[in-house]
Amino acid sequence: MLTESTREIGNGKAHAQGDAYLRIDSLWKAFGEFIALKDISMRISEGEFVCFLGPSGCGKTTLLRAIAGLDIQTRGTVEQAGKDISNLPPAERDFGIVFQSYALFPNLTIEKNISFGLENAGLSKSAINARVTELLDLVGLPDQGKKYPAQLSGGQQQRIALARAIAMSPGLLLLDEPLSALDAKVRVHLRHEVKDLQRKLGVTTIMVTHDQEEALSMADRIVVMNHGVIEQIGSPTDIYREPATLFVADFIGEMNKLPAVSGEAKTVTIGRKAFKSAGGEIPPGKEVIAAVRPEDIIPHGDVVTEPMEEPDNSITCRITEMEFLGSFWRCRLKCEALGEHELIADFSINAVRRLELAAEKELVIEIPSNRLKVFARPAGE
pLDDT surpasses 50 at 218: yes
Quickly state the pLDDT bin for 306 (edges 50, 70, 90): low
> How many CA within 13 A on the CB side of residue 122?
0
* CATH number of the domain where residue 172 is located: 3.40.50.300
Q: Is position 332 within any domain? A: yes
Distance, CA of 352 to CA of 235 (rounded, Å): 32
d(CA 245, CA 168): 40
Specify the range with the lowest mean pLDDT, choosing from 17-31, 104-118, 150-164.
17-31
The rounded distance, in Å, linking the Cα atoms of 117 and 363 is 64
d(CA 6, CA 26): 35
Q: What is the pLDDT at residue 307?
A: 63
Task: Identify which of 9, 360, 346, 369 has the alpha carbon closest to the alpha carbon of residue 166.
Answer: 9
Co-location of 155 and 212 in the same domain? yes
137 shares its domain with 265: no
pLDDT digits (tens, 9 = 90+) for 123-179: 899 999 999 999 999 999 999 999 999 999 999 999 999 999 999 999 999 999 998
Q: How many structural domains are present in the chain?
A: 2
In a domain, 339, yes or no: yes
In the sheet that holds 83-84, the strands lie side by side as 34-45, 20-31, 75-80, 83-84
Provide the residue count of the chain: 381
State whether 209 and 92 are in the same domain.
Answer: yes
How are beta strands 49-53 and 204-209 bridged, if at all?
A: parallel
Question: Are 9 and 128 members of one domain?
Answer: yes
Question: Between these two residues, 306 and 25, which has the higher pLDDT value?
Answer: 25
- Ordered strands of the 342-348 beta sheet: 298-299, 362-366, 314-324, 328-334, 342-348
Same domain, 234 and 331: no
pLDDT tops 50 at residue 10: no
Q: Which residues of 71-90 are buried (b: 16+ CB within 10 A; e: fewer)?
A: bebeebebbbbeeebbeeee
Q: What is the pTM of this model?
A: 0.89
**Per-residue pLDDT tens over the stretch 316-354:** 999 999 999 999 999 999 999 998 889 999 999 999 999
For the chain, what percent of residues have pLDDT higher than 90?
80
The mean pLDDT value for 265-290 works out to: 91
Give the pLDDT score at 6: 35
Residues 43 and 187 in one domain: yes
- 151 with 284, same domain? no
365 and 319 both lie in a single domain? yes
For residues 184 and 295, membership in a common domain is answered with no
Burial of 192 per CB tally in 10 Å (0-12, 13-18, 19+): exposed
Q: Is the residue at 217 inside a domain?
A: yes
Under 8 Å between Cβ of 319 and 357: yes
Identify the domain boundary among 246, 264, 294: 246
Q: Flag whether 208 is in a domain.
A: yes
Residue 32 within a domain: yes
Q: Which range marks the domain in which residue 166 is found?
A: 4-246
* 291-310: average pLDDT: 80
How far is 204 from 171, CA to CA, in rounded Å? Answer: 6
Is 184 in the same domain as 279?
no
pLDDT 10s digits, 57-94 = 999 999 999 999 999 999 999 999 999 999 999 999 99
Residue 381 within any structural domain of the chain:
no
Task: Report yes or no on 169 lying in a domain.
Answer: yes
Tell me whether strands 314-324 and 328-334 are parallel, antiparallel or unpaired: antiparallel
* pLDDT value at 310 more than 90: no
What confidence tier does 378 reach under pLDDT thresholds 50, 70, 90? confident
Residue after which a domain boundary falls, among 186, 211, 246:
246
Residues 155 and 290 in one domain: no
Residue 48 has pLDDT above 50, yes or no: yes
Q: Is residue 235 part of a domain?
A: yes
Residues 214 and 333 in one domain: no
Whole-number Å distance between alpha carbons of 99 and 180: 10
The last residue of a domain, from among 214, 246, 278: 246
| CATH classification of the domain holding 306 | 2.40.50.100
Q: State CA 340 to chain mean position distance.
A: 34
- Where is pLDDT greater, at 309 or 9? 309
**Using CB atoms within 10 A of its CB, is residue 25 exposed (0-12), middle (13-18) or buried (19+)?**
middle
